[in-house]
Every structure is written in structure tokens, then in C-alpha cells.
Amino acid sequence: MRRELEMQEMDWTALANPSEEMQRSWLLQSTTLTMKTYVQKKKTYIWTLAFIGVLVVIAFTMMTIRALTHLDHYQQQPPETYSIALHTGLKFFNSQRSGRLPEENNVTWRGDSCIQDGKYPGSSYPHLSGGYYDGGNAIKSNFKMSFAMTMLSWSVIEYHSKYQQLGELIHVEGIIKWGTDYFLNTFDSSADTIHDMVFQVGHEGTERYCWIRPEDIDYQRHADICFSECPDLAAEMAAALASASIVFSKNVVYSQKLIHGARILYKYAESSMNTDTSSSWDELLWGGVWLYYATGDVSFLDRVTTLALADPSGVFSRDSGVFSWNTKLAGAQLLLTRLRLFLSPGYPSEEVLRKFYNQIGNVMCSYLPSFNKFNRTKGGLIQLNHGDPQPLQYAANAAFLAALYSDYLDASDTPGWSCGPNFYLTYVLRDFSRSQIDYILGKNPQNMSYVVGFGERYPKRVHHRGASIPKNRKESCKGGWKWRESSKENPNVIEGAMVAGPDGHDGFHDVRTNSNYTEPTLTGNAGLIAALVALSGQKDNLDKNGIFSAIPPLFPVAPPPPAPWTP
């Protein structure tokens, strides 16, 4: 301040004018200084660019090292491991067949069983021989069987060439057809409208009490019929028939028969649906998506869009990301995401497709260890059923979704997906998928394969009536209890059966009497097979376009013009 005041008080007019020579020196000095400053700034700019370049190279190198470290962190199984496990796992379905068995069934301890199902006085459905038993007893549940067949069909549609290369295409198609042939006999599949359908054959109490081989069942087995109270079952079975119609698309007559059945089942589901759609909402989505893919009928996509916009708030919040025979939302989300990634139908479906695209991304985020939505055992098994028994089927289904989504992203030239501010590459999904399947196949604290017949150590006391009683040993209902209670190994090896699995602490008890550990299920094995085929062989074997064969070329409708501007 003082200096400024001094300068203000100075009389500048009293100073002598500079000479002409001095003024020239000032001009020369200014030019010299300007050139020096320019050169100095240029050097600084070049060094700054070089420094930034070095930082970019270092950052890229660190990212590459981090990526490679992550890739090496999870030690992958040899590629043939999943193929061998798939061959084994498919044998389980042969062991679960009901009715008159085909010659190629190849399970020596199984024979014809329950061929009189439906044949009793007053029966509306006398031809119920066939189909599959759910698990260790002799119940045939259309709901669970439908989900299992849909999962197998989905895996064939996506990985047709893999099944062919593995020599299992004819086998798996035969497994699916055994189920769909049975479904067509559980409702009036030749009609245009139905009013009832078979829900289940075999009563829970009786089938749990009678521990005998299915071949020796001589008691009358009634069918449970539902009338207007089962839209979820009808939509689920519609999904099974619609997806199978794509598998058998070259057999035009049979494929159209399946489509007709799927249409009338879905119609029945819609007419049976009451104002509270929460119990069947996900099945209606699931069935509607499959019917759209099977028929190309855009009205099914419109129905799915309407259903999606009417999402029952909070109904699936706890189970978001859980895909099972009882919860189909994640499967429907992934199927709709497939449509958006490969066909991009645009308006008016884009809003819903973008919604499901974002939701399935969140589902995949929830599977990662860095997110805390689902707990994991110390051995690494994800607890999608929140610590309840029989966790393996849920983990297998999630492994399938993750591997399939990874293949969708790769096939659409999408390098990965975002979880909040973080971006993950597709290999992260396959690492998760492998980690769960490898756990099932023996990479767990028990060092035990939970698939019977695979690996050196697996369960020997499977909770299964047919496997636990010697062939040709006929017992009464109560007389068979001694085989159920026995601590000896099963006399028959039920190859390919994935048992229920360990508890929430990686503990497992190989005891026949505890189904929470040792009972296999049709639905569980279907998810396992789907995941195994997704992980086997080369990952670029996805059939990108087969599922769209019935969909006509899409010409998106232009969105409506904006409302006129008013001042």
C-alpha cells in the first residue's frame, strides 16, 4: 500500500524524456524477451505432453496387468471337464422317465412304471403315462417339469452346434420330446379353448410314505386337476411348448402342434388371471416372450410390454436375481435383453426393453463378490436361496444366465457392462459361472463332486426310491423303509444326478434320509445341463439368429411427434 501511495504522489512530469537511443533499446529488448518466452513455453508444452503420454502408458500397462492378474486368479478347469460332466448329467433324465421306456433308455435298473396313470373311473385324462418324476419319489409335477423342459430347450436353441459337436443333440431332443408329448395329454390340446388342466399326478403324502420302486407301484394314482386357479402353471407350460417348438422347427407338423397348445394355454392363463397378478406375473412374462419368439406374433410382445409396465411393486425385490422353477423374472429379462441387443426393434418396445436391459445388468452385478446382495459360503458357493436347503440348483441357474449373457455381449460386440461407476469385461461373468459349476463338480471344501458318477468322490446314498432298492426286489410301502433307513450305499448308481447340495457352511452329509442334502431334482439337473453346455467348448458357438427365425423383419414405428409448442 505504501509503495502504491508513493507512486501516486510522484510527479511524473518532472522526469526527463528518454533519449531516442534508449527507446530503440527498449524495443529490441522486448522482442528478445518475447522470443525467449515463446521458446520456453514451447519446451514446457512438449514436456507436458510427453509426461501425460508416459502416464497414459503406465496406466494402461497397470490396467492390463490387473486384467491379466484377474484372468489368472481363477484357475479354469480343462475345457473337456464340462463336456464330460454334461454327458454324465444327461443320463439322469433317463433315470427319471415314467411310462413305457424306449429301448435306448440305457438305465439297466429302470423299467416300465406307472403306465396306468390316469386310468381310473371318472378320469378326465386317461392317458397320463409318461413324463418325468420330479426327484426321489414318484410325483409328476407339470409345473416343475415344464420349467425343466424349457431350460433344456433354451440351451439347445442357444447352443445347438455344441450339442451336435458333443454328440448329444439327438439325446437331448429326445429328453425334451418325452416331456412335451406328456404335456399334450394333460389338457385338451386339440381344442381352441380349455377350462381345466392336470396339475400333478401322485399325492405328496402317499409318495413320501411309500418307499418302493416306481416299477412296483400298484396303488391307484389320481391326477390333481385345476380349473381357474392356475394361470402360473398354464403360462409355464406354454413356455415349455413354445420353446420346444423352436427346437423341433424342422418337424413342421409337430412344431405347429406345440405352438397351438402353447397358444391355448396362454389364453387360458390370461383368462384365469385375477386382479392380483403378482403370483403369476413372472410366468406370464416368461410364457409371452417364448410365444413371441416361437410365432413372431407381435401381439405377444405387446402383451409382455403391457405386463412389464404393470410391474407389481416390491413383489420380486427379495428374489431379484434368483432364477428358478418358481421365479422366472430374470430369465424373461435376459430373453428381452437378447431382443434389444440383436434386433433393436425400437419404438414402441424400446422403453420396456431398455428397462429389462438395465435390470439384467443389475442382476449380473449382484452375482459378483464385490456386491453384497447375496452371501457366499467360505468355499465360494453363492447363497441365492438365502441359506435355505438345496442351494445348488439356484447356483447352476445363475451360472447359466451369467455365461449366456456373456455370450450375448460378445456376439453383439459389447465388451462388458456397468455396475454403477465400474465397468466389467465379459470374462468376469464367465469366471463367476465357472466358479459355481466348478464348486458343484468338486472344487469345494468337501472335495466332493455333487454330481453322481462324475469325479472320484460323489454321494453314494442318494435320496431316491429307485436307486436305493435292488432291481427286482419288490417291497410294500412300509417294507421299503429299511432301504431308505439303511446306511449302506445305494445298490443302483443314478448317474448324472446333481444332489441338493451342502448347507450354508459348506457342510454335507451323505445320508439317504435327509433330502435336503441328497435328493436330486429334475429342475436342478436342467439348470446344470444348461450351464455346462454354455461353458463347454468354444465360447463363440452361440446360435445368434436361430431363435429369431419366426420373427418377420422389423420396421420400427416412428414415435409420435412432440406436442405442438404453445407459448
Q: DSSP code of 324?
A: B
For 458, the grid coordinates are 460323489
Strand ranges (E), 102-178: 140-141
CA–CA separation, 117 and 460 (whole Å)? 31
CB 529 within 8 A of CB 498: no
Residues comprising the chain, all counted: 567
Between CA 436 and CA 400 the distance in angstroms is 10
Q: What is the DSSP letter of 113?
A: B
Buried b (16+ CB within 10 A) or exposed e, 428-449: bbbbbbbbbbbbbbbbbbeebb
What are the cell numbers at 24? Answer: 530503440
Angle, CA of 360, 361 and 362, to the nearest 5°: 90
Q: Where are the beta strands (DSSP E) in 357-413?
A: none
Name the CA dihedral angle for 184, 185, 188, 191, rounded to a multiple of 10 degrees: 50
Q: Cite the DSSP H helix spans in 192-251.
A: 204-209, 231-247
Using CA atoms, how far residue 151 sits from 241, 297, 339, 506, 564, in Å, is 11, 22, 18, 27, 49
CB hemisphere CA count around 111 (13 angstroms): 10
Whether the CB-CB separation of 206 and 220 falls below 8 Å is answered with no
Q: Are the C-beta atoms of 234 and 265 separated by less than 8 Å? A: yes
Nearest residue to 237 (alpha-carbon basis) of 256, 204, 263, 276: 263
463 annotated active-site: yes
Beta strand 223-226 with 416-419 is: unpaired
Give Cα separations from 46 to 35, 74, 547 (angstroms). Answer: 17, 43, 56
- Determine the Cα–Cα distance for residues 204 and 138; give it in Å rounded to an integer: 9
Q: Kindly tell me the sign of the dihedral angle through the C-alpha atoms of 50, 52, 58, 60.
A: negative
Give counts: helices (H), strands (E), the chain.
19, 5
Residue 556 and residue 348 in contact, taking contact as beta carbons nearer than 8 Å: no
Catalytic: which of 386, 463, 464, 509?
463
Cell representation of residue 51: 509426461
Q: Could you list the active site residues?
A: 463
